[in-house]
Copies of this chain bind each other. A is one copy, B any other.
Amino acid sequence: MTPPDPQRLSLNTATVKQQWTLAQAIDGCARHGVRGISPWRDKLAAMGLQKAVSAIKANDLSVTGLCRGGFFTAKDWLDDNRRAIEEAHALEADCLVLVVGGLPQGSKDLGHARERVQECISNILPEARAAGVPLAIEPLHPMQAADRACVNTLEQALDMCDALGEGVGVAVDVYHVWWDPKLEEQIRRAGRKRILGYHICDWLVPTRDLAFDRGMMGDGVIDLPLIRSWIESAGYTGFHEVEIFSEHDWWRRDADEVMRAMKERYLRAS
């Protein structure tokens, strides 16, 4: 297997969300030789879109994704997703990541929630295509089906892609899909065309929280080199984005230490 390529490492800004503004994260990536960045929209709004675009260009970073569109359960989902598409366009992002939302308040109708997700994506897809912004459906871990995303397997996401056509694909985040008995098969099915992003971190044992207890690569049980080999065999040549929500550990550390650990672990354990 080929070793990981440091030129393809990307920082998802959630990894240092407690420590750095977006301006600091852009500067940090440049300083640490990290070539990709994937900003979250709250940080982007705080910095201002034009300033962010300029700083990212000035540092010659690639925007490997914009987090996030989706949440079709929200009242203002249409306007919000339109704005997200415009922002992703301005940033020349590789994709807009869609965290699709879970069950609407008070509902237990998962089937309907899923149909609605597909309808909403089909609604925003023409604008995304026109803007040249690929939409990346991110299947989230089944433990987040109720509150964050009712798309929970790669197979389900790819079925949606097939129904929706061009301009939509998937973001494969190992944290959400590592357990899936059909992972290899569905990564192969996705192929180069549908894989729009690849996110890495690790699954800790024990995991103390359903959302904010992700591990740094190498600290958990995910066979990252194996999954990377599947992703690469499928033809994916994009960035590998490190996204770690870690209330108990990495969010409490100095951000430069996080960057150094991320680079070291990327080479050693991914």
Contact = CB atoms under 8 A, between A and B. Distances in A.
Interface string A213-236: 000000011110010000000000
For A108, A206, A210, the residue with the greatest tally of chain B CB atoms inside 10 Å of its CB is: A108
Interface of A: 103, 107-110, 114, 141-143, 145-147, 152-153, 155-156, 178-182, 203, 205-207, 210, 220-223, 226
Does more than half of chain A's interface fall in helix, strand or loop, or is it mixed? loop
A108 B203 CA distance: 11
Contacts of A143: 141-143, 207, 210
A147 B103 contact: no
A47 B226 CA distance: 47
B156 A223 contact: no
A143 B156 CA distance: 18
A180 B147 contact: no
Contacts of A180: 142, 152-153
A44 B141 CA distance: 35
Contacts of A178: 110, 145
Nearest to A157: B181
A158 to B, nearest CB: 11
